[in-house]
Amino acid sequence: MWKIIKWGLIVIASLVLLIAGAGWLVGSGILYDLPEDKKPIAEERSVKAVNAVTIPAAISSAATSSTAASSTEKNKEILFGDLHVHTSYSLDAAIFDTPAVKDTSYKTPVDACDYSRYCSGLDFWSINDHAEGMTPWQWDATKQAIRDCQSSTDPLSPDMVSFLGWEWTQGSTNPDPEKHYGHKNVMFRDIEEGKVPSRPISANPEHIARKASQFPAAVRGLALLAMSKLDMEGYESLAKHLSTLADTDNCAEGRSPELPSNCYETAETAKELFEKLDQWNMDAMVIPHGLAWGYTNPQGADFNYQMDELSDKYQRLLEVNSGHGNSEVYRDLPLTEAGANVCGAPVDGYTPCCWQAGEIIRDRCEANGNDTATCDQRAADTRELYLASFDPVGPLNYGYSVVPDSKPDEWGTCDQLVGEFQPASGYQPKQSAQYILTLGDESNRFRPGFIGSSDTHSGRAGNGFKEKGRVGVTDVQESAAARKTEKAFSTIDIPQKANGGMLSDKEDRNGSFYFTSGMVAVHSEAKDRDSIWDALYRKEVYGTSGPRISLWFDMMDDKDKTYPMGSEVYTSSNPTFKIKAMGSIKQKPGCPDYAVEALGADRIENLCLGECFNPGNEAYDITRIEIIKVLPRISEDEKASDLILDPWKVVECQPGQSSCEAEFTDPDFQKNGREAAYYARAVQEATPTIQGDPMGCEYNEAGECVKTNYCLGNGDTDDCISDVEHRAWSSPVYLMPVKK
């Protein structure tokens, strides 16, 4: 008997050692090479692009080439770009790219360069992979890719300008809203060695990306083997990524420029980040983004908590719109709070999920024939349980566990901002652009320029030129198995957690709130690095939700001096504004010849997904221009909702016209005697758009969303198209009164 036991133990031990050894071999990365070091396509597109596109005279001021618009009023041109681009060098993107999630293959900054130049036809772009998961070899490869991307064009007259940077990603790891900074992109003017930092700076040494790499190699390997179901094809680069990140030591204390180039550096607050950038003494910008997105911002997140750490030197811009949703508008919402005693009732179409939990239980109670008083009490008890179970941080919301066997449609639109343009999921209103403009005092205001960008995690910068291929061009995370189902999301059985609750709202419904790329546009004196950087820095910029809408917004004083969008002006007169907008050019299917010649048919299909920026000869109509006026608060007692006039004025445009302009005055500015910010929102005619209605609402006669149909699980056959009015947001003009 003892021999049998002995041999049994030996066999078990051998199996354990064999499994652990296999895990170590995979997790250590020694079986795999670094991703192939490619070069961008060294073929300028500028001459061929101009020759390939014929623009009619009627809209020539909106597009003089495939990507640029001429501003005859100011002798400047409008250039379009994307300042928020991730590749698989971001660890989350590397995971998304695996067969278990999206199976889109490992993408590098070289792929992003080629996509930006030939697929989306951008004038400028920036790489911004997450510093938290980036290794020294990836930073070196990124710098080289950006230099190669730039050197493949005429330095005096480039067809595309490439910027270098990273994302400082605090994320939702801190449940305390008062210590929450969110996500910020760091971008540099120059790209040469010695003019950029030796390493990226992350936000948190305990970030989940860093923690994942710190598990023993055998554990990482076994996790990858389980994820891949023992078939490691498509996971090799992720294995190497994790192993090299694990081999990177944390930096010691000291001034950033004096630390080794191959260590892992962190700055845990915005102030510390700005201090480290000061140490490098390089031209840089830090751009907050994803602000209202509840997936990565805890409930109660409030930009006011970081107002005392502003830096006008670095923080000049604000990303209002991206592929992760729109963060423009402020609404006074009854947000769910962990540990709260009372669950807020619905307000103006917004329903807290704690409230909806009670309604679901009430409906079930009444369906079982119970009396009203009993069901009311059960609904109230459920809301209390929800608040006690609620987790305000991260993708899991354990409040859902109080309603077993629930389906997404039962939760309806709870915790979502209904009726607004492509809102960020789980909207956090005190992170919105409008709210931010109300904050501070006369000595401490944040007066940002507004931009849009993609926040793509597939290297597909500026992908909003066509609404096709939802899984490939948006950040929706659907496995191949999930995409094969023909069922709508609201009819799929949702996996249950161990405690019987449904997977979280953030985890389930968030997939319906991924959109195609936003864009940033600059009014630039020339198409070169310094001119584009200077336009960004002086905030003569605007954002769009994807289409290349042309927009001008100027203020004129009583001396006929003109100030463009983004200006900060002290004036003793009532301001006059001049606004002009022109619709984006309609796209032809496929790709221009110059793109096919440069990339080849296979890469056009694999990288561009068969579609490129390919303008035709007509433009979309501008239907209206809305002017928003925001009054920065004078005291903390003023309510933000009382300070935001949205809209303050509406310019109705002529039907059937791609161009719209107007001039108007604010007769009350001097009388009010207080600072005011004005910006324009130009609205284009409705066009079919991926996830244009993320909740898939069915409305009753009163315009209320009575049934939802979230889009998930059918990406191969359905782009979830709805008509939506795309738009452009000017940077505000900031006016301060001068007493006469």
pLDDT digits (tens, 9 = 90+) for 366-381: 999 999 999 999 999 9
Whether residue 300 is predicted with pLDDT greater than 90 in this model: the reply is no
Residues 640-646: what's their mean pLDDT?
A: 96
Residue 502 has pLDDT above 90, yes or no: no
Q: With 70 as the cut, is the pLDDT of residue 416 above it?
A: yes
pTM for the model stands at 0.91
End-to-end CA distance of the chain: 104
Would you call the peptide bond into 40 cis, given omega within 30 degrees of 0 as the criterion? no
Sign of CA dihedral 509, 511, 516, 517: positive
DSSP secondary structure code for residue 97 in this structure: T
Helices within 29-90 (DSSP H only):
46-52
DSSP annotation string for 515-548: -S--EEEEEESSSSHHHHHHHHHTT-EEEESSS-
Least confident range from 223-227, 267-271, 358-362, 687-691: namely 223-227
Cα 42 to Cα 117, 314, 527, distances in angstroms: 11, 33, 19
pLDDT confidence of 395, banded at 50, 70, 90? very low
Tell me the pairing of strands 76-85 and 519-524.
antiparallel
Of 427, 408, 406, nearest in space to 416 by CA: 427
Q: Which single residue is written with the structure tokens 């409230």?
A: 355
* Number of Cβ within a 10 Å radius of residue 309: 14
Report whether 627 contacts 647 (CB < 8 A): yes
**Is 505 a residue whose pLDDT tops 60?**
no
- 490 CB neighbour count, 10 Å cutoff: 17
Q: Return left, alpha or beta for 537; rule: phi > 0 is left, psi -120 to 50 is alpha, else beta.
A: alpha
pLDDT at 566: 97
Worst-scoring range by mean pLDDT, 394-403, 443-452, 694-703?
394-403
Supply the pLDDT for residue 99.
86
Cα pseudo-dihedral 418, 423, 426, 432, rounded to 10: -110
Output the average pLDDT for the chain: 86
| Integer CA distances (angstroms), 666 to 119, 442, 728, in order | 43, 21, 22
State mean pLDDT over 548-569: 94
pLDDT (0 to 100) of residue 70: 37
